[in-house]
Amino acid sequence: MHGLTEDFIHYSMYESQNASLLQKYLKMHDWMGRTSGLQLMQCDAMLRNATLMASLRAAGFHAILSDPMMLCTDLLADLLGLPLVISLRFSFGAVLERHCGHAPAPPSFVPAPPLSYGDRMTFTERLVNVVTYTLFSAVTEAFWRLTLDPYYSEIKGSPTSMCETIGKADIWLIRTFWDLDDPRPFLPNFKFVGGLHCKPANQLPEEMEEFVQSSGDAGLVVFSLGSMVTNLTKERADVIAAGLARLPQKVIWKYKGEKPATLAPNTKLYHWIPQNDLLGHPKTKAFITHGGTNGLYEAIYHGVPLVGIPLFADQPDNILRMVNRGAAVSLDFSSMTSEDLEEALKTVIGNLSYKSSIQRLSALQRDQPVAPLDAAVFWIEFVMRHGGARHLRVQSHHLNWFQYHSLDTCAALLAVLCTTIFIFYKSLQFCLQKCFSKRSEQREKTE
C-alpha cells in the first residue's frame, strides 16, 4: 500500500500536468483497482479470521469509529452489530454522502468535490457541475457493484451492498466547518467538526526557539508539504530553496530529502516539526502549505496567512477556498519559479488584507458554542450511550430510487390527470355529439 501511495503522489506532482484526460482517467482507474485489491486482502485478513472476529465480539465494544476511505470497517460494524460513526472530509463527487448518507446536494449551488467552484456558479460552471456529479455517480456505482458489493454479500452471507452497509452509519463527523466550507443543506446525523485537532501552541524546543527568536522583527515562515511528501526532485528543491533564500524572514522547512544546493542560512531543515506550536508562535508571519485539511485548520485557528502549493486530492479545492476568502496565494508546484515563491510570500506578509482575512476566519472558527473536539467526543459517546442514533437517520434509506425522487407518485398523479382529461374530453365529445344530433333532427323536421 505504501508503494502505491508513493506512486500516486509522484504521478500527481510530476506527471499529471502533462497527461491528457484519458491518461489521467486510466491512471486513476489503475490506481483505484490496485488499491482496492490490496484493501480487500486486508479485509480478508480481518473478516475471515475466525479467531480475531471472536475476540472482537467478546471484547464488548460499544461503537466503531471509521474513515470510510479504508474499506470494510462499515462491514465489520454490521457483522458485530455495533453502531458506526464515520469520520470524513469528503468523497470525490460527494458520492458517499449523497448515495449512502442521503445528504442532499443541489447542483445549482453545491459544487461537486473536488471542483474548485464556490456556491455562486456561472451557467457554464453549473453545467460542468451537473456533468461531474453524473460521471462520479456512474463510475463509482459501477465500481461498487462490480467489485465491492459481491464481496460484501459473500462475507455477510446475504445480498447487500457497500452503500447499504455504510448508509447504516449513525453519525457522520465531517472534518470541515463553515469558515472553510460553503453553506449547504445537510441531515441531522451530519455533524461538522472541522479543526477538532487545533489547540493553543506549546513552548518550542530550546534550539528551535533560539532560531525563531533570531528572526527579529522580520519574523518566521513555516514550510511543510505534509507527512505524505517526504522528498522532492533536486530541481524542485533547489528552486524552492533559492526562493526562500531571498526572504528577510527565517524559514523552518519540514524536509527529509537531500540538502538543496541553494539552501541559505536563513532556512533550517527538519525531518519533523511541531507544526501547531510553530503556527501559534507570535513571530510566525506566513505558512507555506500543500493545503491538507489539518494544516489548513491550524493556520486558520492561529490566524496565519498562507502560500498554497496544492499537489493532489482535496488540496487544490482547499487552497482555492482560502484564496477566494482572501487569506492565501496559490502557486503551481510544477511551474513556479524562485521569484514566484518570493513574490507570493512578500504579498501575504506585506499586504495586511491577507492577515485580516485569516484573522476573520480564525474568529469564526473559535466562536462556536461547543469546541469541535468536544462536539466530536459528545456525539461518539452519545452513540455509545444509546446504542446508535437511528432517530437522526432519514427514512430515505428505505426507499428505492424512484420512490426517493417521487417518480411513482408523480406517475400516479400524471395517470389521474390524463384519465381526468380523457374523461372530460370524452364527456365533452358526447355532449357535443348529442347537441349536434338534436339540431340536425330539428332542422330535418323543419324542412
Q: Is the dihedral of CA 197, 200, 206, 210 positive or negative?
A: positive
User: What average pLDDT score do residues 51-70 get?
Assistant: 93
Q: What nine digits make up the cell of 234?
A: 533536486
* Tens digits of residue pLDDT in 239-271: 999 999 999 999 999 999 889 999 999 999 999
User: What average pLDDT score do residues 140-156 get?
Assistant: 91
Domain co-membership, 150 together with 173: yes
* pLDDT value for 43: 92
* pLDDT value for 59: 94
* Tens digits of residue pLDDT in 386-419: 999 999 988 877 777 778 778 889 999 999 999 9
CA distance 426 to 126: 45
CA distance 174 to 326: 24
Domain co-membership, 54 together with 93: no
Angle at 24 between CA 129 and CA 14, to 5 degrees: 115
Domain co-membership, 292 together with 172: no
DSSP 252-278: EEE--SPPPTT--TTEEEESS--HHHH
Is a pLDDT exceeding 80 seen at residue 338? yes
CB 316 within 8 A of CB 116: yes
The residue among 286, 332, 326, 325 whose CA lies nearest residue 309 is 332
User: What average pLDDT score do residues 9-29 get?
Assistant: 65
Domain co-membership, 327 together with 423: no
Range 290-324 burial, b when 16+ CB lie within 10 A, else e:
bbbbbbbbbbbbbbbbbbbbbbbbbbbbbbbbbee
Is a pLDDT exceeding 70 seen at residue 447? no
Residue 201 inside a domain? The answer is no
Domain co-membership, 168 together with 298: no
Q: Is the dihedral of CA 183, 184, 187, 192 positive or negative?
A: negative
Is a pLDDT exceeding 80 seen at residue 199? yes
| Helical axes 315-324 vs 293-302, angle rounded to 10° | 30
Domain co-membership, 288 together with 394: no
Which of 177-186, 265-274, 294-303, 323-332 has the lowest average pLDDT? 177-186
Domain co-membership, 256 together with 346: yes
Domain co-membership, 271 together with 413: no
Instruction: Let me know how long the chain is.
Output: 447
- Provide the residue range defining the domain that includes 418: 405-439
CB 316 within 8 A of CB 324: no
Residue 42 inside a domain? The answer is yes
CA distance 30 to 44: 21
* pLDDT value for 22: 62
CA distance 401 to 265: 63
Could you tell me where the DSSP H helices lie in 283-406?
A: 293-302, 315-324, 338-350, 352-366, 372-386, 401-404
Residue 423 inside a domain? The answer is yes
Q: What nine digits make up the cell of 321?
A: 477556498
> What's phi and psi for 295, nearest 5 deg?
-65, -35
Domain co-membership, 53 together with 85: no
What is the tally of structural domains in the chain? 4
Residue 445 inside a domain? The answer is no
Residue 129 inside a domain? The answer is yes
Residue 444 inside a domain? The answer is no
Most confident among 131-135, 145-149, 172-176, 183-187 (mean pLDDT): 172-176
Domain co-membership, 340 together with 284: yes
CA distance 402 to 409: 9
Strand partners, 17: none
* Tens digits of residue pLDDT in 61-111: 999 999 988 889 999 999 999 999 999 998 888 999 999 999 999 999 999
User: Which residues, at least 6 apart from 125, have a Cβ–Cβ distance to it below 8 Å?
Assistant: 111, 115, 117
Select the more confidently predicted residue: 6 or 346: 346
Q: pTM for the complete prediction?
A: 0.85
